[in-house]
Amino acid sequence: MTKHRTNTIGKYILLFSCFIFLGLIAWIIVSQGIVEPAYLAFLLLIVSITGMTWSVSFIYYHSNIQKRNRIITIFSIISSTLLLLGIVSKLSHWIGASVEIIFAVFLFTGAALPLIIKNRYEKRKGIVSGRSLLLNMLDLVSILLICFGLLARLMHWYGSTYMIFTGIILLLIAFVLWNISFRREVKLRHLAEEQLKITLKQVEEKNKEITDSINYAKRLQEAIFPSVEFITNVLPNNFVLYRPKDIVAGDFYWAEKIDDTFLIAVADCTGHGVPGALVSVVCCNALNTSVKEFKLSEPGAILDKTRTLVLESFSKKGEQIKDGMDISMLSIKNNQLFWAGANNPIWIIRKNEAAEGFELIEIKGNRQAIGYTEHPEPFTTHSIDIQKGDVLYLFTDGFADQFGGLKGKKFKYKPFQELLKSISHLSLKDQQVIIEQTFLDWKGSLDQVDDLCVLAFRFD
């Protein structure tokens, strides 16, 4: 039953009971204290008192536990006070003693006791089983019998002794059985907690082993990356911003020098974490093989051969695996630049003297990945007419695809371009700091969604 419905029923019961009680008072006043038949008046009194007291339980049954505790305290004090006054009135032979005693007992058993049962049930339902809860409620029923037995005793009603003794016996039985059941369940819970501790310790040990293995895999993955010194020897003015989503990553940067040709690339392999790292090892090995064994130096030809090698690696068991990578690759030879891309572009920011600002030039790669493609085409090699002071950016989609900001949306490529144009007059080291801080500010408290890799250099 919902809170609203229970509250409404309680209010209707209270209204109806008050109407009966006021009618009874009016009847007594009109008849000058002599009501006939007496049993009907007594019945109306019991019904009205029962309704008024139980309506309190209905109204506050679904309230929070603090409010229920306040109601229990208030009505326990009122019922105790009325009972004490009733007993004193009974001993002093004052008028109204019976009504005070009856009202006190009904007030406690109708208004306070159901709320006590509710509180005890909510407090212990997560600790003990349903069987123990039933035993726990049995002692409250026995208290109810004892209360009515005492009431019957004071009113000299028949059966008071049986009610009192029945309540005491039930109370003792409930106490003994509940304690036995509770102790058994506490013991079982203790054993379960001990087993849980053992299981958690095993999970922690396994987690540590897995984390240690991934950290070692990270060192192995980083070992195949070119060193900063190797890149700086050829491109002195550069930066590499590399932020994996997990410990290991699917993004990687690659560089190789063959005779007088320097090759540099940024790649984004399928997935991230451990799966992405495994794909990156396959793709990186294919790039090395294309350059070192097949002596290729043209970016388009290297990507063609790399695609063939990756497909061979992923199809040895006859299964069609569509994993692979997007890549942006650049070759530099005697100040001549050639570039090819698989899905990923290259951006060039150049100072525009006429406009007294900077412009961004985008060269797009072929719309196909290094991996399985239904209609593969040869990768196009673009010749880049470079100018002194140009800044070239190779990157993956980790920055543009990051969710964040006030609305939790993607950063996207256009704002990324505007960011690079706005800071292009700064040194590359300062640019790296600003790009990384912009990424962190945009991401905020959200999780990083993908690996991030941005490589840039200024052609001096």
Query: What was the pLDDT predicted at 49?
Result: 77
Query: What was the pLDDT predicted at 125?
Result: 62
Predicted confidence (pLDDT) at residue 322 exceeds the cutoff of 70: yes
Predicted confidence (pLDDT) at residue 147 exceeds the cutoff of 90: no
Predicted confidence (pLDDT) at residue 352 exceeds the cutoff of 80: yes
Residue 188 vs residue 386, higher pLDDT: 386
Residue 412 vs residue 357, higher pLDDT: 412
- 204-234: per-residue pLDDT in tens? 999 999 888 888 888 888 888 999 899 999 9
pTM for the complete prediction?
Answer: 0.63
Write the CB contacts of 28 (distance below 8 Å, at least 6 apart in sequence): 35, 41
Average pLDDT over residues 435-441: 96
Domain boundaries, the chain: 3-192, 224-458
Question: What band does 377 get if pLDDT is binned at 50, 70 and 90?
Answer: very high
Average pLDDT over residues 424-431: 94
Q: According to the per-residue pLDDT averaged within each range, which of 11-20, 164-173, 212-221, 434-443 is highest?
A: 434-443
Query: What was the pLDDT predicted at 338?
Result: 96
- 401-410: per-residue pLDDT in tens? 999 999 999 9
Dihedral sign, Cα of residue 57, residue 63, residue 67, residue 69: positive
- 250-284: per-residue pLDDT in tens? 999 999 999 899 999 999 998 778 888 889 999 99
Q: Which of 145, 139, 144 is nearest to 179 (CA)?
A: 139
Question: What band does 89 get if pLDDT is binned at 50, 70 and 90?
Answer: confident
Contact between 395 and 454 under an 8 Å Cβ cutoff? The reply is: yes
Question: What band does 24 get if pLDDT is binned at 50, 70 and 90?
Answer: confident
Contact between 280 and 267 under an 8 Å Cβ cutoff? The reply is: yes
**What are the φ/ψ torsions at residue 250 (nearest 5 degrees)?**
-95, -20
Average pLDDT over residues 176-201: 81
Query: What was the pLDDT predicted at 155?
Result: 66
Q: How far apart are CA 121 and CA 119, in angstroms?
A: 5
Predicted confidence (pLDDT) at residue 360 exceeds the cutoff of 90: yes
Average pLDDT over residues 393-400: 96
Buried-state track 4-21, b at ≥16 Cβ within 10 A, e below 16: eebbeebeebbeebeebb
Predicted confidence (pLDDT) at residue 326 exceeds the cutoff of 60: yes
Question: What band does 25 get if pLDDT is binned at 50, 70 and 90?
Answer: confident
Buried-state track 286-298, b at ≥16 Cβ within 10 A, e below 16: bbeebbeeeebbb
CATH superfamily of 224-458: PPM-type phosphatase domain (3.60.40.10)
Cis check for the bond before 376: say yes or no (omega within 30 of 0). no
Q: How far apart are CA 428 and CA 223, in angstroms?
A: 25
